[in-house]
Structure 1
Amino acid sequence: MLATFIVRLTATAAATLLLQSAAMATPRFEQRTDVPSQIAGLSAEQTARFNHKLAQIAAMFADMSEVRSPPQPLCTRLTVSSHQKLVADSLMAESMAMGGSGVSLPAVTDGTTCSELTNNGIGVSVNSLAAAFPHSERINDVFFALPAVSSQQPGVTVLQNGKILITRPDTPFYLPVSKHQYLSWLLEQMQLQADEVVAEYDSDDMWQQWLTVDKPELIASNSETLEQMQGQISAEEFATLKKTLDQMVIDTEAGIRQLAASAADVNQQLPQLASVHQQELAKVQLALNQLTIEQRQLPACLDTEDPFSAGPEICDNGTMVIKANPALFSNAASPADIRLLFVSPGTGLHMLSFEDPRLYDLRMRIYRKVDIERLRQLLD
């Protein structure tokens, strides 16, 4: 009964909110909601509780005058959404409810309507560490470098790029990767890469593979195509098709011949390449062997001057190698719990060369009004 009541109450409140927003909204302020009434994997009560907290994030934005009444002729679009089912973050093992709310800034129009095209915006993501650290910013599937930190207190990390990560004070979002762990991984990866280079080029059967297998199969496939098209097209079209297929065989063979020649050239350089790899591997192995017992457990640091080491004893700001803290989600009492909030400033704190100065100013004003303490109250 309680779960049913909460779902009905939430649905009624959402409908009321939409009606109110339609009545009070100006053409330059829009609200859009896309949250399921039932998230697969959660109970009705858990879904209602999660959606209610998403609504509170949206309310934080809606309370800002910059969002409700953007300066003319700018527009704002307030959105709140969540996934239809539990999702496993690519950096975490557990599946959690995910969603978020944010304010996007549609392209400037004539002041009567908001364009569907959006520029930058401010957003708050729920339970997605991958949103803060996409694949392009990671060292591998597990490790990533902690960007330069502007300020840090238990539960709140503000990065110099403007990103803000909020967790429970007793559960940081990351753990340092030790120098021993990082160098061991680096040694393994470099050995794999060395093996792959040799395996990829240390062979001369590419040409024979083409002559004995691939070329006959391609010719047979072309013949089958011609048989199927015989009588289906004009004689002129048939001749053109045959010429095209024959040229395909010729072009493919030329490409294979060139690749085989390139492979042969690389094969001649393999001893030198292998020597370079061995020297690099030796550097990593030496750095690993020279670690003292105390140094083995120190945080690894990225060192651009010496990429085959784990950096100095104390990491410079923005160079510490880290990994996700598994306790962030594994200690959650429910997959509906909010354990991480990520505040995104859009494309950063600096104005892009193509960004409208008015939109940049509005984006920064909204960003500076994000209420961290208000958001912290939503954590479970």
Structure 2
Amino acid sequence: FGFAKAWFWSPEGDRIAFYKFNEERVKEFFMTEWGELYPEPIRFKYPKAGEQNSVVSIHVYHLESEEPKTMDVGEETDQYIPRINWTRDNDVLAIRRMNRLQNKQALMLANVVTGSTRTILTEESDTWIDVHDNLIFLSNGEQFITTSEKDGYNHVYLYNLEGEEIQQVTNGEWDVTELIGHDDREYRAFYVSAEESPLQRHLYSVRVDGKRKKKLTTKAGWNSINMSRDFKYYINSWSDFYSAPEVTLHRKNGREVRTIEDNKALQERITEYNYIEKEFTTFDVNGTTLNAFVLKPTDFDSAKKYPVLMYVYGGPGSQTVTRNFESRDRAIWHHYLANQGYMVVSVDNRGTGARGRQFKNQTYKQLGVLETQDQIAVAKQMAEMEHVDADRIGIWGWSYGGYMSTLSLAEG
């Protein structure tokens, strides 16, 4: 669920909300630590798919009384508690509870003095529901904003504390990818979305009544935002597929204040090393249009045939085909290969992100099936291209991409 911290201070700093994990019923797994001479087994609790998980409970420690209070999360123990958040009220903790199939999530408000809870909002889906950090309680003490895919795309919604929807704040056939925050003085939310393209990210602001929407970033590409706590300024790290990150300071209305780092020296250096521009394209396979990028050798000749290495991750909600600058080891290796005469191709198969719920969630309960079909179909389509050596098409990936590579080799 993407978190590594299980305790949180209350707004007034006199209480700590925390998780407790009871692993008693979780079965043990073991691995071998080979050592210098003799191997030793290492045993640890490890719940496999379908087996019993830890029993998770939520507690609040009161510094004044020096006593913990247990929050009521229901009688069901085979469930998840993916998030807890303090509201603006020092006496109220928000708890999100999810079933084992991850297709039903309840937002509960807990009275941390008594431990009692009440469910104010329940969301259900025929596929999984994404866990996120997009939950903000407003300073008026009466409302909150969060995101949901319930209309087919991930959008911002305004609710009251009874869980009644007041307003769909954003709408359209595109996903909000991050809810940055809410300026209580101007009743305005800041968010990042893929409205321009699934390949790009831009910052917007909008009143929570859905009016006066404004795009704050102007340059095509990828914008990563770090906003000040008072929402007066933000730092933007912008990049494109062939442009190193430029870091700038802006006022909340988007006006640039100053450049913090232009990375001019890095930009000049990558030119010296034949850093190749990506070509963005699409493949029509299995009744779907898939986004892809291609790296070609600098001396590419369409009359020649080239070996192809496909790079895949392909996991739920992920993307490899984006207009952001990449400089880590895998990206540099891909550019090296292209300079050695290989074509490098990456395709975002069905199940990847920023294209709406239906595109992303169709792999629910069949992970690896549709994704593999898409990678194989693209490889077969490329094999028909005159400039591709059909006998030299390979695939590789890491983590979920390793799983995908193995399946593609086995089935394709």
Greater helix share, structure number: 1
Q: Which has the higher contact order (CA 8 A, sep 6+)?
A: 1
Given the two structures, how large is their TM-score scaled by the length of structure 2?
0.20
Given the two structures, how large is their TM-score scaled by the length of structure 1?
0.21
Larger Rg: 1
